[in-house]
Structure 1
């Protein structure tokens, strides 16, 4: 996946937005919205189509230029081999897997229960944090859904973060006994 500049949508996100808008508004309104929204290369591609281009023509041209060209097999291979980045939260990790599976399922039908199972297994196997992985092993091996597994891991991730912050704070701040010792020694020096 290519990185997307801040405040910009991926092509897949843009396509979804256009589909949602097409369901509500007339083609003229959608066309005007597309013309105003596109920037950079996408705008230049649209300009080559001319003023009479339809929404469908623009979508097809942009799909050719920015759409996913990877085969279903390569997307699925990438999906099954994916691993969580150290900087990814549980939510970010889950979303990246869901995106990959969505792209693969656009080319070939994958039924809902198969998707659920694929997400759950790949999500858990790709976890980088061994503490999270070990804490969720029992849930993973039960009939828990992908969504519930993700919720449990989010809760555990939060718990770990709170414990880490608490530990860091305790390192910064001297303990009660240490503060009392300093106060006592300063009282003795003052006498």
Structure 2
């Protein structure tokens, strides 16, 4: 730093410090120079540069800092078969077995397992404790969530299952492989028998429409995976042809639009007719004379007991002379 600077430079330095959020305690150029020397001396003491450090101190890595290796990732598993966001136990177990064969140590794999477990599976491991050995942990989870089907049951399911109507060829093949793999893992099915078993059952369980069109492929192709590829091609062709048949033509579309417009016009015409009829009925009701009032004005009830007007028999209290009434009745009959 220069020994002194002009008033203009001092003013620029003061603005710079204020912009940095530092307010110098100086009222003159000399005070500013003194304050700057003290300020930079303090900074140097708090943060010394590495140039003043020994060469060994700069180059030697610090022993108190340890870099932790990144943990491997394992898919989430809780043991809940209804969960769609997690993998099955077989897939989870396969991932862990692959990690065991990798370069990760047992502690890293154990920590990765702890982070992947959820729900009931996590509670099981929690009851085993934090320092449970990896082998003990896997054995416990396998005893709770591992396969327990008998070999004969697995093979019976394998030979009885068929492709469902909503299941694609690929989905059907994967489901069949999964059933057979359970028996393979138990050691009840040899690796040499897998191809023939899958090939035979895969084609036999196809839906009738696909099976009829792939018989020649089954007779010619002896490899299961190659057969699946060819069957999938035929499935795709069948799907495209059925889609073309279901797709309406341009003339059919025009006809449908015309019929739709005619139907709309007919509905509109019927609506107008109904509205006009409703209006006519309303007008007739408003213009119709009150028949009850006119009947009361022109007709009075006559009592059938005493013959007087304005009475009815139910409320008649007139005392009658039987002889007189008989004469009146007879005289009415002669007339």
Q: TM-score range by the shorter chain?
A: 0.7 to 0.9
Check if 1:124 corresponds to 2:209: no
CA distance in 1, matches of 2:139, 2:251: 65
CA distance in 1, matches of 2:212, 2:165: 17
Match of 1:16 in 2: 94
Match of 1:101 in 2: 180
CA distance in 1, matches of 2:162, 2:88: 21
Question: Which runs of no fewer than 5 residues in structure 1 stay unpaired?
Answer: 183-191
Deviation at 1:143, TM superposition (A): 4.4
Give the ranges of 4+ consecutive aligned residues of structure 1 lying more than 6 Å apart after TM superposition: none
Check if 1:73 corresponds to 2:155: no
- TM-score with structure 2 setting the length: 0.49
Match of 1:158 in 2: 236
Which protein shows a greater Rg? 2
Match of 1:48 in 2: 127
Equivalent of residue 82 in structure 1, options 161, 164, 169 = 161
Deviation at 1:165, TM superposition (A): 2.2
CA distance in 2, matches of 1:7, 1:21: 22
How much is the aligned-residue C-alpha RMSD, in angstroms? 2.1
Can you list the C-alpha shifts for 1:146-168, whole angstroms capped at 9, x where unaligned? 11110011111111122222223
Change (3 A) 1:100 1:124: same
Deviates most, 40-49 or 110-119: 110-119
| Partner SS state of residue 214, structure 2 | helix
Deviation at 1:177, TM superposition (A): 10
- TM-score with structure 1 setting the length: 0.84
| Partner SS state of residue 200, structure 2 | helix
Question: Which one has a larger percent helix, Structure 1 or Structure 2?
Answer: 1
Match of 2:85 in 1: 7
Query: Aligned pair count?
Result: 176
Question: Which runs of no fewer than 5 residues in structure 2 stay unpaired?
Answer: 1-79, 259-335
Higher relative contact order structure (alpha carbons within 8 Å, sequence separation ≥ 6): 1
Deviation at 1:141, TM superposition (A): 2.2
Can you list the C-alpha shifts for 1:130-188, whole angstroms capped at 9, x where unaligned? 2210111112123421111100111111111222222232x2x4239968xx8xxxxxx
| Partner SS state of residue 175, structure 1 | helix
Change (3 A) 1:61 1:166: same
CA distance in 2, matches of 1:177, 1:63: 60
Can you list the C-alpha shifts for 1:10-42, whole angstroms capped at 9, x where unaligned? 111011010111222111111111100001111
